[in-house]
Amino acid sequence: MGKCDIAIIGGGLLGTCISYWLSTLYDINVVLIEKESEVAMHTSSRNTGVVHSPFYLNPEKKGKLAKAAFVSHEMWKTFAERRRLPWKMVGTLEVGLDEDQHNVLEKYLEWGPKNGISPKDIELLDGNEVKKREPNVQCYSAIYCKTDTIVDYGAFTRGIKEESQRNRTKFLVNSKVESVKNIANEPVLVFHDGNELQTKLVINCAGGYSLDIAKKFGLVLDYSSLHFRGEYWIAGQQYTGLVKTNIYSVPNYPDFPFLDPHWILRVDGRVEVGPNAVPVPSPETYSGYVGDIETFVSKLADIVTSSTRKLLMNPDFVNLIAKEWLSSVSKSVMIERVQKFIPKIRPEFFSERGTAGIRTPVITPDGKFVPDVMELEGVNSYHVVNYNSPGATGAPAYSAGIVKILQEKGLLNYKTQPKDSIWTF
Ligand SMILES: Cc1cc2nc3c(=O)[nH]c(=O)nc-3n(C[C@H](O)[C@H](O)[C@H](O)COP(=O)(O)OP(=O)(O)OC[C@H]3O[C@@H](n4cnc5c(N)ncnc54)[C@H](O)[C@@H]3O)c2cc1C
């Protein structure tokens, strides 16, 4: 059986950034466990690729993610410069289509500065001012945020992995944690191939599977989760110049953790429309609606017996899901949603699907979506669950915050031996 000081489950942005911070602070044996052959094979590559300025997040409900996103912006910029990775500040227009949505935008003008954004970086424009900047965009009003930036988060994760490896973090890939047991009061992780790893502390950053892993440690047994696939359509090259900035719209249902599809610029020059939010049975059902039968049946059973059942009694939620599903089976329905603010686009402008990604929001025992990230402490374990958008943006600062919490809880009782670091802890 292998042994280490700290085992991190999950090689997405979160786990990889945590491993990096630990590697810059301590000379200890840290192992990051990833079931795939490389880091960032799931959500950390399969996202919209925006470094968000958190003007649209309610500081009272999503304060942790908002603060981390704000602080991380400069950190990612420094990282991109150092590693010579693309960093394109393209800005975002968040459009409101009527007076009600305009009122939401006015609220954003208050939230932005509360989340740290300088008032000079966000401005409220009326529909005519928007037209002058983007003649093909139609709306009642919009917030323009000039600092929103597009990047390749997969490349960012692989870059952080290399920095962490240089400081001697071990990346154990192709290793899936199947179960956990206890030996001499220490957790022992059991892998799919029967190998085992004994550790003093487990940090669970398993993305869409983090709730399942937390349950293996006996935590949050009465919580459940749903998986929503976000799909994209790629615009033909001749149409990419129609709009030159990212266009988001005010969400119709702010209590649900997904936005309407938007117009997004990719860092490699592509332009896409998406993502929608189609329910699927697992965090990795990237095509089809059922996945493998075993997963489907087990998710169905989970829905019927868990807190998700209560959510399904909410008619707004059921309506939304029906709309999202339609936009998956019909490209025209998806494009129609964006036509509301870019009337010129047509379904035939989009002939290829983009790379889908899956969100896994967590549901409370009384059937409500958990709005912010959840941090759970177990015996010799710490779990980050519901780490959703803008989690990629916030990863550098959020992960530093997790390491600080672990220090304060006395779970990192090692002598610090700080090394040169890209960022200041
Ligand atoms: C459609 C979509 C668009 C998004 N757009 C943006 C955006 O523009 N900007 C932004 O800031 N955020 C965005 N996000 C959110 C962001 O991508 C995520 O918050 C972030 O990538 C989560 O990182 P993670 O490390 O927690 O999870 P992941 O990247 O999913 O990593 C978890 C890892 O754990 C591994 N794992 C799971 N179970 C096990 C196991 N049992 N054993 C071993 N390994 C395991 C998985 O293989 C995976 O590699 C978006 C998300 C989606 C779905």
Q: Note the pLDDT of residue 312.
A: 80
Query: 190-242: per-residue pLDDT in tens?
Result: 999 999 999 999 999 999 999 999 999 999 999 999 999 999 999 999 999 99
Closest ligand 1 atom, residue 205 Cα: 26
Q: Return the CA Rg of the chain.
A: 21
Pocket test of ligand 1: the residue of 38, 47, 147, 263 to mutate, having most ligand atoms within 8 Å of its CB, is 47
Considering the domain architecture, whether residues 234 and 201 belong to the same structural domain is answered as no
Kindly report the average pLDDT of the chain as a whole number: 94
Considering the domain architecture, whether residues 22 and 163 belong to the same structural domain is answered as yes
Q: Note the pLDDT of residue 313.
A: 81
The β-bridge relationship of strands 30-33 and 170-172 is parallel
Q: 230 near 356, Cβ under 8 Å?
A: yes
Burial class of 348 by CB neighbour count within 10 A (0 to 12, 13 to 18, 19+): exposed
Which of 270 and 258 is assigned the larger pLDDT? 270
Average pLDDT over residues 7-27: 98
Considering the domain architecture, whether residues 15 and 40 belong to the same structural domain is answered as yes
| Confidence class for position 316, pLDDT limits 50, 70, 90 | confident
Answer yes or no: is pLDDT of 298 > 90. Answer: no
Q: Note the pLDDT of residue 87.
A: 98
Distance, CA of 120 to CA of 117 (rounded, Å): 8
Helix axes 153-166, 13-25, angle to 10 degrees: 30
145 found inside a domain: no
- Give the sheet arrangement for strand 278-280, strand by strand: 278-280, 227-230, 357-359
Considering the domain architecture, whether residues 212 and 265 belong to the same structural domain is answered as no
Answer yes or no: is pLDDT of 297 > 90. Answer: no
Residue that is last in its domain, among 369, 394, 410: 369
Q: Note the pLDDT of residue 75.
A: 98
Which of 415 and 310 is assigned the larger pLDDT? 415
Considering the domain architecture, whether residues 197 and 237 belong to the same structural domain is answered as no
Q: Note the pLDDT of residue 204.
A: 98
Residue that is last in its domain, among 369, 397, 414: 369
Distance 137 CA to ligand 1 centre (A): 31
- 172 DSSP assignment: E
Query: 155-200: per-residue pLDDT in tens?
Result: 999 999 999 999 999 999 999 999 999 988 899 999 999 999 999 9
Considering the domain architecture, whether residues 214 and 283 belong to the same structural domain is answered as no
Which of 259 and 133 is assigned the larger pLDDT? 133
Within 6 Å (CB) of ligand 1, which residues are found?
9-15, 33-36, 41-44, 47-50, 52, 176-177, 205-209, 230, 275, 357-359, 387-393
Q: In total, how many domains does the chain have?
A: 2
Query: Among 256-260, 330-334, 382-386, which stretch is predicted with the lowest mean pLDDT?
Result: 256-260
147 found inside a domain: no
117 found inside a domain: no
Considering the domain architecture, whether residues 237 and 317 belong to the same structural domain is answered as yes
Distance 208 CA to ligand 1 centre (A): 7
Q: What percent of the chain has pLDDT over 90?
A: 84
105 found inside a domain: no
Considering the domain architecture, whether residues 262 and 329 belong to the same structural domain is answered as yes
Answer yes or no: is pLDDT of 253 > 90. Answer: no
Distance 235 CA to ligand 1 centre (A): 25
| Confidence class for position 43, pLDDT limits 50, 70, 90 | very high
124 found inside a domain: no
Answer yes or no: is pLDDT of 292 > 80. Answer: no
Query: 71-127: per-residue pLDDT in tens?
Result: 999 999 999 999 999 999 999 999 999 999 999 999 999 999 999 999 999 999 999
Q: Name the closest-CA residue to atom 51, ligand 1.
A: 47
146-165 as b/e: b if 16+ CB within 10 A: ebbbbbbbbbbbbbbbebbe
142 found inside a domain: no
Q: Note the pLDDT of residue 27.
A: 96
Considering the domain architecture, whether residues 287 and 196 belong to the same structural domain is answered as no
Query: 371-400: per-residue pLDDT in tens?
Result: 899 999 999 999 999 999 999 999 999 999
CATH number at residue 389: 3.50.50.60
Considering the domain architecture, whether residues 57 and 177 belong to the same structural domain is answered as yes
Instruction: Give the structural domain span for 273.
Output: 224-369
- The closest alpha carbon to 222, from 281, 310, 299, 306, belongs to 306
Distance 238 CA to ligand 1 centre (A): 32
Distance 13 CA to ligand 1 centre (A): 7
Considering the domain architecture, whether residues 162 and 257 belong to the same structural domain is answered as no
Distance, CA of 397 to CA of 394 (rounded, Å): 6
415 found inside a domain: yes
Q: Name the closest-CA residue to atom 25, ligand 1.
A: 12
Considering the domain architecture, whether residues 339 and 386 belong to the same structural domain is answered as no
Q: Note the pLDDT of residue 145.
A: 97
Residue that is last in its domain, among 324, 341, 369: 369
Q: Note the pLDDT of residue 226.
A: 92
137 found inside a domain: no
